[in-house]
């Protein structure tokens, strides 16, 4: 899959999946606008990419603020010339029973997992509609399909991402804009290994495997795919 001349915005860029997506995109010719709250790791990531001057490192933008997302879209369009795709990997995870999870937890989960994607989508879709082309990819979760004990807030917020994906795909398909999501199982990250020391991480999906699925959905090879909820579960 070649992304030569493509411009892709990736949020959560310094995270495990975000950084894997960015490295693959850069290797395959894309110009990347990497968005993350943490400046130093983000700058280091972009500096490590092939021909780093072709890319943007964008920190200090609050994705919960629609105006900040509009500023991201404006800057990327101005400095990189276009926006061909968005990958929203920013998000969060938290457990809590009904008794333990107050409104703050629910607001936090829906903010990180749903509103960050919604705000950036709203900011970039007008230019994609004008170009009659574009691809939006979000990260859902396997738990959004069937939620276990203690994950009501998290799974509900991820389920909302799936419904957003399906509805926007239907809304935008006649404008040439595709909207899809991947649904990872447990991802093999340092954080998950520390949290689950007795589990077998060889069964988990790797960040690069999630990234490859995302790149497929972004690519012209998936030109006929919209509204897909693609499971990426490894062997777990």
Dihedral of the alpha carbons of 9, 14, 15, 18, in degrees to the nearest 10 = 30
Range of the domain at 32: 7-232
Residue 81: inside a domain: yes
SS3 call for 67: helix
CATH number at residue 160: 3.40.50.720
Q: Which long-range contacts (CB under 8 A, 24 or more apart) does 164-169 make?
A: 164/114, 164/117, 164/118, 164/121, 164/138, 165/138, 165/140, 165/227, 165/229, 166/227, 166/229, 168/121, 168/136, 169/226, 169/227
What is the longest distance spanned by two Cα atoms in the chain? 51
154 has catalytic annotation: yes
Contacts for 64 with CB less than 8 Å, ≥ 6 apart: 111, 115, 116, 119
Residue 1: inside a domain: no
- The DSSP secondary-structure symbol of 224 reads T
Residue 2: inside a domain: no
Looking at the structure of the chain, the number of domains it has is 1
pLDDT in 10s for each residue of the chain, 236 residues: 789 999 999 999 999 999 999 999 999 999 999 999 999 999 999 999 999 999 999 999 999 999 999 999 999 999 999 999 999 999 988 878 877 788 899 999 999 999 999 999 999 999 999 999 999 999 999 888 888 888 899 999 999 999 999 999 999 999 999 999 999 988 888 888 888 898 899 999 999 999 999 999 999 999 999 999 999 987 77
Residue 168: inside a domain: yes
What would the two tokens of residue 168 be?
Answer: 């926007």
Identify the pLDDT of residue 29.
96
Q: Which of 3, 61, 121, 154 is catalytic?
A: 154
Contact assessment for residue 97 and residue 151, using Cβ atoms and an 8 Å cutoff: no
Contacts for 36 with CB less than 8 Å, ≥ 6 apart: 11, 12, 13, 14, 15, 18, 42, 58, 59, 90
How would you classify the pairing of strands 85-88 and 134-139?
A: parallel
């Amino acid at each position: 899959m070649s992304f030569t001349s493509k411009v892709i915005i990736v949020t959560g860029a310094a995270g495990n999946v975000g950084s894997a997506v960015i490295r693959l995109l850069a290797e395959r010719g894309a110009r990347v606008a990497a968005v993350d709250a943490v400046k130093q790791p983000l700058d280091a990531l972009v500096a490590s990419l092939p021909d780093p001057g072709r890319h943007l490192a964008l920190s200090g933008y609050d994705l919960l603020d629609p105006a900040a997302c509009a500023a991201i879209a404006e800057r990327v369009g101005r400095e990189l010339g276009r926006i061909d795709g968005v990958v929203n990997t920013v998000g969060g995870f938290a457990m809590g029973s009904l008794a333990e999870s107050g409104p703050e937890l629910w607001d936090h989960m829906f903010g990180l997992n749903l509103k960050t994607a919604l705000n950036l989508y709203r900011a970039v879709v007008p230019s994609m509609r004008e170009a009659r082309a574009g691809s939006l990819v979000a990260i859902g979760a396997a738990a959004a399909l069937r939620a276990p004990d203690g994950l009501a807030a998290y799974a509900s917020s991820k389920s909302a991402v799936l419904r957003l994906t399906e509805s926007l795909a239907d809304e935008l398909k006649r404008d040439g804009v595709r909207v899809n999501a991947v649904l990872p199982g447990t991802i093999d990250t340092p954080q998950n290994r520390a949290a689950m020391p007795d589990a077998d991480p060889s069964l988990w999906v790797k960040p690069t495997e999630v990234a490859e699925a995302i790149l497929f959905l972004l690519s012209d090879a998936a030109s006929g795919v919209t509204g897909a909820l693609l499971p990426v579960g490894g062997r777990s």
